[in-house]
Amino acid sequence: MKPNPLVIAVAAAVLGFFAAIAAAANHGPETINIFGGQSGNVPFTHAQHQNRLNDCNVCHSIFPQETDAIKRMKESGALKPKKVMNLQCIKCHKEEKRAGKPHGPITCSTCHKK
């Protein structure tokens, strides 16, 4: 029995539809206002970083994908002050700069907004 081309086309369309939904399901917001302690919060271009890094675990291996995760982790002592900035943001931005690539800010006051 030969496969019906119409059935194959419909099945492919349905699979494509669900794949697109799954891919778009958990990208988070375009921007996030990250708790920045006494220095002021950090407006974070979440979508821009997702597009650039292509690996959510670069950041989310340290903190969960939850609203105010960094604030809660700092308050509980699970995340030490300046750890996000020094071990994540600044480190990556400096590596990109050394490689001659476009990079983000490398000083505290550039990101923190009181």
**Global pTM value:** 0.67
Confirm whether 93 is domain-assigned: yes
Q: Based on the structure, what is the number of domains in the chain? A: 1
Instruction: Read off φ and ψ for residue 43, nearest 5 degrees.
Output: -70, 115
Give the H or E element holding residue 34: strand 32-34
pLDDT tens, position by position, 3-30: 666 555 555 555 555 544 444 456 788 9
Domain that holds residue 99: 29-111
Confirm whether 58 is domain-assigned: yes
Helix ranges (DSSP H) in the chain: 5-25, 46-53, 57-60, 69-76, 83-84, 90-98, 108-111
pLDDT given for residue 20 in this prediction:
46
Which CATH number does the domain housing residue 50 bear? 3.90.10.10
Contact 75, 88 (CB under 8 A): no
